[in-house]
Amino acid sequence: MVAFKSVAAPEVATLPVIRQTALSRLAPEVADFLEGGAGDESTLLANRSAFSHWGFRQRVMSGLAGPDLSATFLGIDLAMPVMTAPFGADGLFHPEGQKAVARANRMAGITSIVPEAGTFGLEEVVQAAPEATRIAQLHPMGPEKNFLTMLARIEDAGCAAICLTVDCPTGGWRERVLRNSFDLDARYVGGNYPDSGETTLIQVFGQLFERSATVWSWDRLASLMSHTRLPWFAKGIMTADDALASEAAGAHAVYVSNHGGRQLDGVPAALDALVEVRRAIDGRLPIVFDSGVRRGADVVKALALGADVAVIGRLAAYGLAAGGQAGVERVHSLLYDEIRTVLTLLGRGGVRDLTPEVLIPQAGSVLHGVFGADA
């Protein structure tokens, strides 16, 4: 069992209070940038409400000892089935940004997905926690020579895998950003390109993307990924068709995500899409999940519905803004303890024992009544 370092400060006593503390410490326009979603934010809200569509089927007197939270993903050992998302603009939330996240993850025994559009370059984040395992994010867009250069940098940095964010051919329509006239300074997202003069990636995250740019295809992506020996997976999969397309392109895992409701408003909750994707993949590839995770109970529900690992984005950013490395460590500690508590009360020996049978579709849910024994 990993001994998580506790943060004793009362203002970070629980996960909801960590969020409140974080938002109180951020400038209003930065808090809106963190909290906001696309359009009317219907998908943002759906991501959270989807977890309430499932209840737990509790079993008592299991006779089991403490549950085992350890997991493995693409050969990476995790103390719990959680990783941190590749959220960029991390320096907005704390001066140490993803460097602090990497150190907190090392302490917790979990893995960072290091953002391409981060405040610090990949090599800086690696150096902050050199003994930790990490995954690097990459955006399939722009000139191929830039993409291939980043592939080489990722290999040279000793990353274990590559996360390709495929749902950002342009930035989402984020009205909180527009209302605040929030101009995202390039230094917060250009850590990997400080002197190159390249603007493509910075434009995407600054809402200034050239909308006539060519969107990549699965065939093009598969061809370019043949240049790396590292396993890779596509982030932003929301349908069975795209899950199968990514598999056909050579992906080693599937990442179900709607970008936390920040890209296309009106798509389903990611938790709902997870069920469809799990059925299509049918155990052939591991499944990563994010969007809407705020508690350990959410992680348990996602794993029961087919995910192998849950990824936290806003939750990690809250910890970062609330207390830097110590704040992120506190998030991990609370998540770990809650997951362990839920598993114990469910009568399950570990995360590998989670199946849909531990869940009950709630009346009123769009999912109610549509699942059989294989749900």
CA angle 200, 205, 209 (to 5 degrees): 50
Please provide the DSSP assignment of 327-347 as one string. Answer: HHHHHHHHHHHHHHHHHHHHT
Q: Which of 94, 139, 259, 332 is flagged as catalytic?
A: 259
Residue with tokens 């990949």, as numbered in its chain = 122
What is the sign of the dihedral through the CA atoms of 188, 193, 199 and 203?
negative
Question: Beta strand 359-361 with 134-138: parallel, antiparallel or unpaired?
Answer: unpaired
> How remote is the C-alpha of 241 from its chain's centroid?
21
For 335, the token pair is 């998540």
Residue 195 has a CB neighbour count (10 Å cut-off) of 6
- DSSP letter at 351? G
* Number of Cβ within a 10 Å radius of residue 145: 8
Q: Is 259 a catalytic residue?
A: yes
Tokens 């209070």 found at: 17
Kindly list the catalytic residues.
259
